[in-house]
Amino acid sequence: MTDSDLRENITSRIKEQADIVQIIGECVDLKQSGVRFLGLCPFHGEKTPSFSVHGGQQFYHCFGCQESGDVFSFMMKYYNLDFPGALKELAGRYNIELPERQRSKKALALERKRDQLFAVNKKCAEIYSHYLQTAKGADSGREYLRKRSVTSEIEKRFGIGYAPAVEVEGWNYLADKFNKEEVASAVEAGLLVQKENGATYDRFRDRIVFPIFDISGRVCGFGGRIVGEGQPKYLNSPESIVFNKSRLLLGLYQQKESIRKQKRAILVEGNFDLISLVAHGCENVAAPLGTALTREQLRLIKRFTTEITLLFDGDQAGEKAAVRAVPYFLAEQLAGSVALLPSGHDPDTYVRQNGLEQLNGLLEKAESLPEFVMARLIRQHGLTLDGKSKIIEALSPLVKSASSPLQRSVFISHFAEQLGVPVDHFESLSKSSTTLLQSDTGRAEKMRGEEKSVPLTIAQKQLVEFMVLYPGHLASLEEHGLRGCLAGGIGEVLFLQLKVMVANNPEFEPEELLTTLPDGAERKLVTDLLLRASRQGQVEEEDGAAEGITDMLSYLRRFGLQKDSDELMVRIKLAESEGDLQKLQELMTEKVEISKRMHGEIV
């Protein structure tokens, strides 16, 4: 039995044993009504129950927002899990053992290393937290937190700790708490710094320490704020195999449920901005780790909400930070807005001085990011003829970052109307860089309207599946003749659409392809293969891409050679019929060379 068959078997067993009414009843107050159960939908706000759960048929449906599915769908949607995560959670509940996929020694070693780093980070967080709560040497840290109005409840919720000063506990306080193996892991995690002679010392000293959790609650690293004198003011763990600050958000693990329930996330820039807002009752908040907001961070938040407000300082730096984030919001199709604080305030000082009610008032007046950028450019350049030209030039990258042709067209029309200039003025500005994309889009649209009666071969299906799951390899596949191999069918349509999306955004996710496809054969094909890949754990596995690309390119080379061989045979028969012996000899020599290459005799 294959891994796929085993997974399908496990999936069926779980669906047979799982009680969907019980599972959903843990999250929704359900009341029986005949053969079904009714409750308020957990996926949209409503006052009259329209969420129906059918125990016998093991499915749910909301007549308000049209959400429906089985027990796996619910676990994925409600708890923000992927299919393997939902499978693992339900298997654990019903004591069903999941088959382990065979992995390479390298993959197993990497997993062990990651586990060791997570373990030493967790232990470090506990050490620093305990020191803050109990040690006399943490008096300065406790005093600092009291001045910032940080309560014990907030300290515990975020796992805040204190790394002692050198003059109190020496240079190796942390290393003395670890065994030899843990010391090695602590060096790799950046908790300890190792000198050339092999000795170590603590990286964090005299700092309030914030553990940084991933979405599942594992401690990936730390951020430390100096208490006394010294630089830098803020210090993060260095990059490691478990810590990448561009892919993490402080507070998201603790506040994700509040974000999901309120259907909105507030992003602030500082650690103390975050905890101060939470302490004052603004729960749906998270913070980047001292860097500009990244697209990966937006993707994390996207699992819980599609509406995000940036609450930044009202200075020039805050404005620039908001402007830099706009292309990422557009690419991720998120509704972004920005609320700038009055001069001299950050979120911490503002909420402490003015309270939650005034903060909420400020947030309600948040301006959509594209409109914010436009207003800022008008202030900067004015609406003279020269000013409008500069505004259009500045808006061009923003327009190009739109996630779809429709979104791009809407922006062009809207901004052109605001500036009182012709639409084609905008279009001509970016025409040179988008002509190729537009022509590819046009060809895809044209082919989509044509009848595609020829089904994909097994090899074509494999090529389509690979290019959709691993779009980063599309250029290499195209160079080796992918389009010719898929010509004349839905495979070519998908290739053209993918080419447009990759050119617009090289880091786009395979699921984004569904946002550009209308109902029909192409959309069904992509939906089916993404679902199958998710269930088999294929999506985002780079090992699979590295192994698969070799096979795909090898097939395309063979396909190209076979096509050349077939064309030569036609020309050979023509030369024979015309009695052209010299041409026939030349063509036969070419045919022999191609045959050798096809059989791997020459490269």
Residue 100: per-residue pLDDT: 66
Could you give the dihedral angle defined by the CA atoms of residues 135, 139, 141 and 143, in that order, rounded to the nearest 10 degrees? 140
DSSP symbol at 246:
G
Residue 435 pLDDT > 50: no
Residue 448 pLDDT > 60: no
Q: What are phi and psi of 69, to 5 degrees?
A: 160, -170
* pLDDT-derived band at 7, boundaries 50, 70, 90: low
Residue 437: per-residue pLDDT: 40
Residue 245: per-residue pLDDT: 86
- Interval 110-125 mean pLDDT: 94
Residue 98 pLDDT > 80: no
Q: What is the pLDDT of residues 407-427, one digit of tens each?
A: 778 778 888 888 887 877 667
Q: Which residues pair with 308 in a beta bridge?
A: 265, 336
* Residue 66 φ/ψ region, left for φ over 0, alpha for ψ in the -120 to 50 degree band, beta for the rest: left
Residue 48 pLDDT > 90: no
Give burial (CB, 10 Å; 0-12/13-18/19+) of 494.
buried
Q: What is the pLDDT of residues 263-302, one digit of tens each?
A: 899 999 889 999 999 999 999 999 998 777 888 899 889 8
For residues 171 and 564, what is the distance between their CA atoms, to the nearest angstrom? 71
Q: What is the pLDDT of residues 199-255, one digit of tens each?
A: 999 999 999 999 999 988 999 999 999 998 788 888 999 889 899 888 899 999 999
Residue 192: per-residue pLDDT: 94
pLDDT higher at 58 or 1: 58
* Residue 61 φ/ψ region, left for φ over 0, alpha for ψ in the -120 to 50 degree band, beta for the rest: beta
- 3-class secondary-structure state, position 280: coil
Residue 357: per-residue pLDDT: 95
Sign of the CA dihedral 488, 492, 493, 499?
A: negative
Q: What is the pLDDT of residues 484-508, one digit of tens each?
A: 888 877 888 888 888 887 877 776 6
Q: Which residues pair with 309 in a beta bridge?
A: 266, 337
Q: What is the pLDDT of residues 329-385, one digit of tens each?
A: 887 888 899 999 998 899 999 999 999 999 999 999 999 988 898 888 898 888 887
* pLDDT-derived band at 6, boundaries 50, 70, 90: low
Widest pairwise Cα distance in the chain: 103
Residue 388: per-residue pLDDT: 83
* pLDDT-derived band at 433, boundaries 50, 70, 90: very low
Whole-structure pTM value: 0.61
Whole-angstrom Cα Rg for the chain: 29
Determine contact, residues 456/422, Cβ cutoff 8 Å: no
Vertex 166 angle, CA 162 and 167, to 5° = 115
DSSP symbol at 207:
E
Residue 4 pLDDT > 60: no
Residue 535 pLDDT > 70: no
- Interval 304-324 mean pLDDT: 85
pLDDT higher at 161 or 317: 161
SS (H, E, C) 116-153: HHHHHHHHHHHHHHHHHHHCHHHHHHHHHHHHCCCCHH
pLDDT higher at 60 or 399: 60
Residue 78 pLDDT > 90: no
Determine contact, residues 246/274, Cβ cutoff 8 Å: no
| Mean pLDDT score of the chain | 83
